[in-house]
Amino acid sequence: MTFVYGFFAALMLFGLWRMWRNRHGVIAERKDPAFDVAEGQPEVREALDLMRDQNWSALTKLYWGMTPSDRYHMIESAGEIAFNGPPDIPDDADSALLTITGGMQLMHGMKVKGAGSALAAYKADGKRMMDDMRAAAARLREAGGRNPGDSTNLALQIRYEVALNGDEAHINNLVGRAQASGEDNIYIALNHLLGFTPTPRRPADRMWRVANEWASSPPNAAWFAIPARAHIEEWRYAMACPPATPERSTMIDLMSDDGFRRHLTKLDDMFWSALQRASISGAEFAFAHNHLAFLMHLFHIEDRARAHLEQIGPHISRYPWIYLPTGQTRPTLLLADLRKQYGLPALQA
């Protein structure tokens, strides 16, 4: 009887796998044509056009004309759009081109695509992912050697290390190099945080030390979204725990705790106050408002969620909304539902 239950469980899992993959065994792109994968950043399409035209000098100029955070976001979004991976570049490519294409290849590798039967697809996925990731790492290291002060390159190297190895000493070394660069890059802080998210063997207080370090003396308001992401990661971990576990039970209680809501409101107040004192870049703006909107929505602080959703407009981001079922499959539908829920006018098609 145990064998029968095991067989049917495996069959159900295989069915779910087939729903996720198309008939050829290849992971399908997200079916939400209205979703702006560039998340409102105009340089993403511009960069892709320059790559198509092989206008490498203009692409390098575009890269260095952006803020560090915007450079990272451009690479991340371009990697999402270029479903077949980045283009080939000249043998004498400069550090900007190596960083752009290495970063795109990193994002491409993390999608884990493959083809064939279940077992063959799994093996193909793993090989293709590792091939992409190793090639990406080589380009990023070469670019970093040529220009060690590029925080965007270092942020991508941190993302690679978090995704593949999790070597905390190496992550901290890369973070130290980024801090010494003199560039303010929100994705250094984010990827540093992602290296210490809670697991059954790693308590949340390690993540919080990182979050509080970045938010203690922030260069601008966007950095207050780093502790917001830490709260989201703690919620995500707790809700993935089995029912009746202390982590899950504590989080459920916290979600209806008025005192904790007041704590989150103070974090939001610090963001709005800092926003009056210093400007933030486009990528930082989107990052901050999307994370704070998600957090305020999650903990039912309606007026605060509404204010951030107003600022987002039509540009909902992949993260952190991907942590909700509709956000993963139909982010524009989720945004429409949220705007209706909070009394905001519907967006024009």
Evaluate if residue 36 carries a pLDDT over 70.
yes
Evaluate if residue 271 carries a pLDDT over 90.
yes
Nearest Cα neighbor of 76 from 151, 233, 161, 187 is 187
d(CA 148, CA 144): 5
CB within 8 Å of 307: residues ≥ 6 apart? none
What are the percentages of helix, strand and coil residues in the chain, rounded to 5?
A: 70, 0, 30
Determine if the peptide bond prior to 200 is cis (ω within 30°).
Answer: no
Domain definitions of the chain by residue range: 28-165, 227-349
Of the candidate ranges 5-9, 60-64, 102-106, 188-192, the one whose mean pLDDT is the lowest: 5-9
Per-residue pLDDT tens digits for 283-336 = 999 999 999 999 999 999 999 999 999 999 999 999 999 999 999 999 999 999
Evaluate if residue 258 carries a pLDDT over 60.
yes
Per-residue pLDDT tens digits for 90-126 = 889 999 999 999 999 998 887 754 333 334 444 556 6
Evaluate if residue 14 carries a pLDDT over 50.
no
Evaluate if residue 22 carries a pLDDT over 80.
no
Evaluate if residue 24 carries a pLDDT over 90.
no
Per-residue pLDDT tens digits for 189-246 = 999 999 999 999 899 999 999 999 999 989 999 999 999 999 999 999 999 999 889 9
Residue 298 near residue 19 (C-beta atoms within 8 A): no
Overall size of the chain counted in residues: 349
